[in-house]
Amino acid sequence: MRRLLRGAVAGLLALPLFLASSPPAHAAPDPLAMTSGFYVDPNSGPAVWAAANPGDGRAPAIRDSIASVPMARWFGSWSGDIGAATGSFVGAAQAADKLPILVAYNMYGRDACGGHSGGGAPSPSAYATWIAAFASGIGSRPAVVIVEPDALGDYSCMNQDQINERQNMLINALSEFRSKAPNAWVYLDAGNPGWADASTMADRLHASGVSLARGFSLNVSNYIPTSDNAAYAGAVNQALGQRHGYSKPFVIDTSRNGNGSNGEWCNPGGRRIGTPSQEGGSGAEMLLWLKTPGESDGDCGVGSGSTAGQFLPEVAYKMIYGY
């Protein structure tokens, strides 16, 4: 997944947070108030690995510090029947009286400019069918959904027709969640502070239908400190307010930002797990583990020889301790 740090965040910290967010047009109830907390996925990569390797000296730390933390499950072309897949996951969470976190990652032309996580639906119409089934699988049950990491971060290799096509796909996706998953809080991904300046990202969010969503997400699969992301969110909301007359809540991926960023995006060494999933924090509506610590970004860095999404126990183990 491409997470290039293209610009400095200098100056963003001086901007005030613009947090007087207007309520979404369809004010769904707080999904955390409908449950007893976030759902811990028993079938996450680290949980499965720890259960299968009880004699490995790394297993207790990975089980206790990573596998036991609520984190997102990602859904894409590998998920098979998507309505059944999301329905099963959300149903398991409902049975446990917990709130599931889902990531939709199947955009047509996905990660077109990065390439490590390229792929996605074979056409815009196929994506429309897929996302409608994704939302239908959730139905009226509470959930948190992150929509399409990478989608708005980098337009550098796309022409205007491709950009328009992508924005229309996102508008349709958010409309499907609004109608088919009314108790889900849905966040359109907005990249990170190093990808696009806040004013540009505000315009991209607006053009892609963020007014239909609960809010936007930041730092998915990246390492940038929570405080930098919060400052960036404030600047994005300032621009949304000034240009479009509204602002939105935001969530931050804290799964791998405990040591901040060293400027590398693809399996950098020396990173550390961050604040576990929680409601609130640093002005965010939620701090969430969206990327699974120890999951590879691709054949690069300390994950050399791996594929994107592959769980690497040694990387996970080192991330617990920050080395």
Per-residue pLDDT of 101-126, as tens digits, reads: 999 999 999 877 765 566 799 999 99
pLDDT tens for residues 44-64? 999 999 999 999 999 999 999
Residue 150 is a catalytic residue = yes
| 5: pLDDT strictly greater than 80 | no
Predicted pLDDT at 218:
98
Once rounded to an integer, what is the mean pLDDT over residues 91-104? 98
Distance, in Å, from the CA atom of 271 to the CA atom of 256, rounded to the nearest integer, reads: 7
Residue type, 262: N
Give the pLDDT mean for 270-279.
Answer: 98
Average pLDDT, the chain: 91
265 annotated binding-site participant: yes
Residue type, 72: A
Distances (CA, A) of 304 to 189, 297, 308: 27, 10, 10
Residue type, 277: S
pLDDT at position 119: 79
* Residue spans of beta strands (DSSP E) within the chain: 73-75, 101-104, 143-147, 184-189, 215-218, 250-253, 278-279, 286-288
222 annotated among ligand-binding-site residues: yes
Instruction: Say which residue, 39 or 265, is predicted with more confidence.
Output: 39
pLDDT at 18 over 60: no
Residue 29 is predicted with a pLDDT of 87
Dihedrals φ, ψ of 270, to 5°? Answer: 75, 15
Distance of CA 126 to the CA centre of its chain: 22
Residues in the chain: 323
HSE of 59 in the Cβ direction (CA atoms, 13 Å)? 11
| Residue 195 marked in a binding site | yes
In the predicted structure, residue 16 carries a pLDDT above the cut 90: no
DSSP 203-219: HHHHHTTGGGSSEEEE-
Number of H helices, E strands in the chain: 8, 8
Kindly name the residue from 41, 150, 154, 253 that is annotated as catalytic. Answer: 150
CB 256 within 8 A of CB 225: no
**pLDDT > 90: what percent of the chain?**
84
> Of 111, 228, 253, 297, which one is the catalytic site residue?
297
Domain ranges of the chain: 35-321
Domain 35-321: CATH architecture, name and number where available: Alpha-Beta Barrel (3.20)
Q: Report whether pLDDT(85) > 80.
A: yes
Q: Average pLDDT for residues 234-254, to the nearest whole number?
A: 98
Q: Which of 25-34, 80-89, 150-159 has the lowest mean pLDDT?
A: 25-34
| Separation CA 320–CA 12 (nearest Å) | 29
The pLDDT assigned to 118 comes to 67
97 is catalytic: no
Q: What is the pLDDT of residue 31?
A: 93
pTM here is 0.91
